[in-house]
Chains A and B, each alone.
Chain A
Amino acid sequence: MIGRTLLRRVRSLWVRIRHRTRALVRRGSIEREMDEEMRVHHEMEIEDRIRSGMDPMEARRTALRDFGGVERFKEESRAALGVAWLDSLVQDLRFGLRILRRRPMLAALAVLTLAAGIAFPTAAFSVADTVLHRPPEGVPDPDRLVQVRFRSPHDSRMRETGLSHLNLRDLGEAALPTVTHLVGSAENSYQVVTPDGAARHLHSEAVEGDYFGALGVSPAKGRLLSAAETVAGPAVAVLSEEAARRLFGEGSAVGRRLHVNGASLTVVGVAGNGFRGVHRGRSTDLWVPHGLHPTLLHVESDTYHRRDASTLFNLVARLRSGARAEAAENELREAMERLVEAYPEQNGRYADYQPTLYRYLGIRPSAREWFRRSMLILVAAAFVVLLVACANVASLLVFNGLRREGESAVRQAIGASRPRLVRQHITEGALLVGAGLVLGAAAAAWLSREMISEGINRYYSFSFEGAVVEGRVLAFAAACGGISVLLAALLPALVVPRVDLVASLKVFARKRTGGRGRLRAGLFVTQIALSLSLVVSALLLRGSLRNLQEVELGFESAGLMEVALDPRRQGLDQAQLAEYQRELLRGVATIPGLHSVAGVGDGPLRAQFRADLRPGGEGGGWPIEAWAEHVTPGFFGTLGVPILRGRDFTADDLERSWESDAGVAVVNEALARRLSGTVEAVGLEIVQRGYRENRVLEVVGVVADSRMRDLRGERDSGLYRPLGDSYHSRTALLLRSDRPSAEVIEDVRGVVNGIGLPVPFQRAAPLTDLVDELTTEERLLARLMTLLSIVAVGLAGVGLYGAVASSVEERVREIGIRKALGARMSEIAGQVIGEVLRLTAFGLVAGAFVGWGAARLLENRLFRIEPLEPRVWFAAVVACVVLAVAAAALPARAAARVDIVRTLKG
């Protein structure tokens, strides 16, 4: 019994499906069939009535009458078929296309405007996605891959850190259940010399454990490094595809030799699928086994193989599927605690360290926060462009709707319902948005690629491979499209059909219906407000940038050149390094045309090391912090920093520093005041905290403050020591000369080559370039904001023109009458301009709120410029007023020149 019912149901379902499909697919023939069916029925009815004796004419008439209203009944039948909605949709689309074909210029303008409005936010989002969210290339299943960073909860200043290799290995061997792999890499820039003698720097990683296995990277050629190899440290290396191409051209790189930091390595493989490390942006080109690391860094073995060694590895872990991050963090913390217990002396500093897991997305964590806020600002600004574009298109459609007002009226009269009319307007708008979306997405692809290569890569010397418009980005573009349809199509659709049927059919009674006029005014005000806020933002950022660029450096940067190199990387030991530096300084002193020359460890504005200090003789903590620089005699003179008290370092101090420890220091004024309350600090004793032992230093001089690290922020305390006291081998030469910098740099190269050791330059440029580098983000942001403002203002200008022109057009008759009654041309024009100014005033007030909000968002980016800076706001207001008046100029002129006779003729 159940079986039979079931069978029946199934068959019935099949019949229904067949029926529906037929109805959908064979629309035309279904219609014809219906018509035929009705016709046959009609004929049979007539025949029947004739047969029962009715007069044929009478039979026809009554049959027709009894048949009922044909169309409505057909619609009901169609509705019973269940595909009425498809019908209306197709009809709406055809209708919309027809309208657009009739006004191709208008449609094209709308599509281009929408394309621009969608392209900018999509491009900005695409760039943000690439920089912040894209997982690394060449790593399958990146979701389970995490970075482990340790931080002490007590030391808020300390950035998160990795571990030394001994701790790392122990953690890896602990075989934690939540983690399938735990490996590490230490990043560095190595000097690589190819067999043809060319020397360059490659961003490299020394890897520990089954690194490539953990990541799932496969080789493009040859093989990758195994876990055993990374410990043993044979003289092998793996290259990225890009580096292999650059170093060896099209030939195979496998088996070739490279000199890396003085050591000879053989290339055993090339990493495939575009793998260039786990952090985007600073791409890795070379991987070596970690066992080689001490050789490559020229660090003494016993320094390196300690748990508190200064070389720290970034930990990379792959979570077991199903394992949760918190569980892994707990296990890691416990494992770390066990290591601290086991090796209390060396691991003491790691007590209480907390591990945190991060996914590998985009650029490294330390750079993320700044980027995120910059991207947010950009996307918001680009979104404003979209809003302006939507306002423009809405205005265009209203303008267009005016012309079609009569048509709407007629359609309403023959029975098209209001919702149907709204639907038709929306469909028309959606067609425009659809075309704009396609164009806009294509433009966004190009735009984002340009932004990456010309903006991000160039300004930051990153190497992003270009943004891709796909997946999330396309969804964002579609969302922009959706918003555009809502704002540009729905709004006019809600307003336009509200048409007074009688009035619109009467050609003469062109009074402005309230809804439309208010909409136009609203759009005008919106465009002014949005333009104002963008212009204010751009001007604020530019002002901030200018302020940064003009910051008092404390030294004379013009005419100063910097050449930086690291001779240690070529395999020198400590004694040899001292000799090298002596020779180098002797050599450059002979270069002609130099006012002065000096050596320094890191260089002005690039101090890397912080010194913890306390006044001599006191015990306890380290209350004073300062930036530390290592310099040669003449450094202060070369920079142009005046010596306020005491003396500069002598050649003697320098020699002693190379031999052991000079025991002397020069402080800047800020540090002097911290030590003694006044600038009189000469003769004071201070103690500097050392890695293994503390150093006692005597202050022999006090110099004026200068910027040591960056352009923002307070002037820091600075401690200067002779060059030889530096633990690090990086040496920068500062040369002051009137000669062109290229020549001087060439001469320095000659000196370096003369010494006989091939050392490439890490930097060789005028110091003013460095200042530019420090303002990179600000420059990029200011430029992009300016670009967006110009686009928005341009669009707004076109939109404002359209709004004023349509308003004038609507009132042509009224103007004609007024002229006939004696109004002068200037009066008419003046009235138009006056109305525009009134609306502009409203727009400025609204814009003030939006602009103030935007300025507040930017606040922590601004340097020595207030969000409400009067000059900026004044300039922006003037710009908007000029824009409005310029947009109104032509229509005002047209209004003034209205031909009375033509308008009165109608």
Chain B
Amino acid sequence: MYLHHTILPEGLTNTMESTTVVGFSVQVRIGFPRGVPLSLLEGFEVDVDDGSSRRHFSGEQIAFGLRGRSYRPADLIDLVTQRWEMGEVARLEITLAGGLPTGPHRVTVTQFLRVGATPEPARTVGTRTVALTDHQPGNSGASHTPPANAAARKGSME
């Protein structure tokens, strides 16, 4: 869904715990034309190609960060009370000692969403070349994008 728009052009960063680089994170949007309960997220795969090397990440190597919280794959099972809204920016946090080198990286994110009538998940693949920027503290969850209908919240009728 929306292919490269599922990966944001900014926000590819290495993540640190204390002074140690423990991985990297990338900002993503859902690859589906509506939001879904987190229980429908069956997992992600991330592929990074910087020209000299190709790396593949999946399963427990990837945590899903949304609105300040970080979820491991097991945390998402049957989690129906939280939703990933359409267009809302989330963060995938990938474990990789030493992180990624600076410079451009061709990042491919595959999302597996159990949105069909059968248990077989739908698969969305987005690819974008993104440049690595500054370090970010580890397990920070998503950079928060306010919902588009902020005017529908208390305090404003605009």
Q: Do A and B come from one complex?
A: no
